[in-house]
Structure 1
């Protein structure tokens, strides 16, 4: 079984150019060649084609997670989640080191653990960043553009993590069939 990587989870096309059938007029064909045309040899470990329904599912899941954690930070006592900064950055460092180790080992288990740990850390960053923005606004920092960028990056990271988790889950379901 090939290790699941972010590119194999999110790449949808299994067709690509090869030395025989790629020409300047067809750079990276995304559909099968017509009948009678030379066939591309199968790629080893071709990524499966994923269902397009995982994108709206990941988006709705991200919006729900983001809304819940933002509201939790808004209604919590003031400055109660600011202590999470050190733990979250330590978690990111742990993720970096485990990703580096996994690039040499190719462990599916470590990749999956890294995905779920990343999702938890990004949820923590929503709490932390929301309360940090509130504190900055209370102390006079009205730079709302950068505050929005912080929260947008949190949203994008949660979406990315959820998309990869849903893609992996779908791949496992297809393999069992």
Structure 2
């Protein structure tokens, strides 16, 4: 069943990403490069916007010390998730998808910057380093596993259930704070869950996303990385306080 595409890829000099691949390796690698190029631009934009928010103190002070600032802060937290709805609907329509992707990235980057503005530089650096190491390691592992026929699609239901539990736990923390230890537990659990999502979404990138779904594939990985960073930030900040 899969011997024909496998032989074709060997003759053309490109190794297939996984044994059951039914398309050319060149097309799939081109798709992967496109997704990671978009993801890199998103991360660079996020770092740039967050750095401006952290470095220019009047911005963070406005959001903390004024009532309009607090309202705007809540809007900025919710806005990226609102933008996700039209982005999902138009994610295959160029250039609308790229415009919505840029808007989504900037709003989420601003929220990340406000979070970092009230965090020590040591904690931010620790979170950035650990996030980078984990993302690179899990990505390389998933590509290695895909070449050997491993499949991680079974993680989907477990991760969905875990994220629901995490959301309920966060709501409990908001209305009934349980102390520093519970915040550390939340950060640790969230970090593990989003490590699982990095493996799951990378596996989908390799095997399941179609070539026209490059924007949504980049958004999935971007959210995994940002959420992993914020989870580690929560954990380290609670431990440092």
Interval of TM-score (by shorter of Structure 1 and Structure 2): 0.5 to 0.7
Which of 134, 138, 144 matches 2:214?
Answer: 144
- The normalised TM-score by structure 2 is 0.47
Give the Å deviation of 1:130.
0.3
Alignment CA distance shift 1:151-1:169 (3 Å): same
> Following the alignment from structure 1 to structure 2, what is the Cα–Cα distance between the partners of residues 64 and 70?
10
1:68 aligns with 2:137: yes
Give the Å deviation of 1:136.
1.9
Give the Å deviation of 1:89.
0.6
Q: Which has the higher helix share?
A: 2
Count the aligned residue pairs. Answer: 127
1:85-130 per-residue CA deviation (whole Å, 9 max, x = no partner) reads: 1111110111122222333321023332221111000000000000
Alignment CA distance shift 1:144-1:78 (3 Å): farther
Give the Å deviation of 1:59.
1.1
Alignment CA distance shift 1:60-1:97 (3 Å): same
> Following the alignment from structure 2 to structure 1, what is the Cα–Cα distance between the partners of residues 197 and 65?
41
Superposition pairs for residues 1-177 of structure 1, below 5 Å?
50-76=119-145, 77-108=148-179, 109-137=181-209, 140-171=210-241
1:24-51 per-residue CA deviation (whole Å, 9 max, x = no partner) reads: xxxxxxxxxxxxxxxxxxxxxxxxx753
1:53 counterpart SS class: helix
> Following the alignment from structure 2 to structure 1, what is the Cα–Cα distance between the partners of residues 222 and 124?
17
Gaps of 5+ in 2: 1-59, 67-117
Q: Is the 8 A contact 1:66 1:126 kept in 2?
A: yes
Runs of 4+ in structure 1 deviating by more than 4 angstroms, as ranges, are none
Alignment CA distance shift 1:53-1:163 (3 Å): same
> Following the alignment from structure 2 to structure 1, what is the Cα–Cα distance between the partners of residues 214 and 136?
18
Which has more radius of gyration?
1
Alignment CA distance shift 1:154-1:65 (3 Å): same
Q: Is the 8 A contact 2:169 2:186 kept in 1?
A: yes
The Cα RMSD (Å) is: 2.5
